Structure 1
Amino acid sequence: MPDSQDGPRFLTLADVAEMLSTSSAQVYALVRRGELPAIKIGGRGQWRVERSRLEEYIAQQYRQTERYVAEHPFEDSETEAETPPRGL
C-alpha cells in the first residue's frame, strides 16, 4: 500500500517523538499506559502508531488543555505587583 500524501499510515515511536518534540521514552510511556493507542508487530514486537490515532490523541490533548485552562484561570500576581500603575 503506498504512502498517503501526509506520509505513511504507521509511525515508529521515534517518528511520533519527533512529531511531538519529545523523547522516544516518553512516547513509549504514553503507549504502555494506554494513553496513545499503538500496535505491536513482528517477532521483535516493534511498536507502531497509526497516524490517525496520533491525530486523535493530539486533538484530545487540546480538549483537555482547554478544560484545564478554563478551570484554572491564569493569575499573574507577580507581574501585577511589579508593574507600577499607569500614569506614574
Structure 2
Amino acid sequence: MDDSDDAALGRFLTLADTAEILAITPAEALELVRSNELPAIRIGTSHLWRVERLVLESYIEAKYEEARRLSLWEQSDFGNIPELSGGRILRPEAHRSSEPRD
C-alpha cells in the first residue's frame, strides 16, 4: 500500500479494509475486534466498527515482535523445559542411535 492509498482510505478503516490489509476475511477481522485483540470503535448511527490506521499498524508491529520473541524462545536452552513452555516440549531431543539398547 503506497501513500496515495493511505490518503484515499483516511484515518479510520472499515473491517473490510482492515481484512484486506491483513489478508484475512472480514469475518476474521470482526472476530479480532470482538475478542478485543484488535482495538476498534463504533462510529455513526449505524454503529459500524472502525479501526484506526495507527492502531492497525501498531497491531501488526506487535505481531511481528511476538513472532520474533517466540522464535528466540524456541531457540533458547529453556524452550524444551515443559514447566517454562506452558507444559509442552518445543524441541524434543533427538534419539541417539549410538546409545546401547536393552
- How many aligned positions are there? 72
Partners of 2:12 and 2:45 lie apart in 1 by 17
Q: What one-letter code is carried by the residue in structure 2 that aligns with 1:23?
A: T
Partners of 1:52 and 1:19 lie apart in 2 by 13
Match of residue 61 from structure 1: 63
Match of residue 33 from structure 2: 31
Match of residue 11 from structure 2: 9
Q: CA deviation at 1:14?
A: 0.2
* Deviant stretches of 4+, over 6 Å: none
Calculate percent identity across the aligned residue pairs.
46
Verify: 1:72 aligned to 2:71, yes or no. Answer: no
Q: What one-letter code is carried by the residue in structure 2 that aligns with 1:56?
A: S
Instruction: Look at both structures and tell me which one has the larger radius of gyration over its CA atoms.
Output: 2
Match of residue 20 from structure 2: 18
TM-score, with structure 2 as normaliser:
0.64
Q: CA deviation at 1:67?
A: 0.8
Q: What one-letter code is carried by the residue in structure 1 that aligns with 2:73?
A: E
Q: CA deviation at 1:43?
A: 2.3
Q: CA deviation at 1:45?
A: 1.3
Unaligned runs of 5+ in 1: 76-88
Unaligned runs of 5+ in 2: 76-89, 92-102
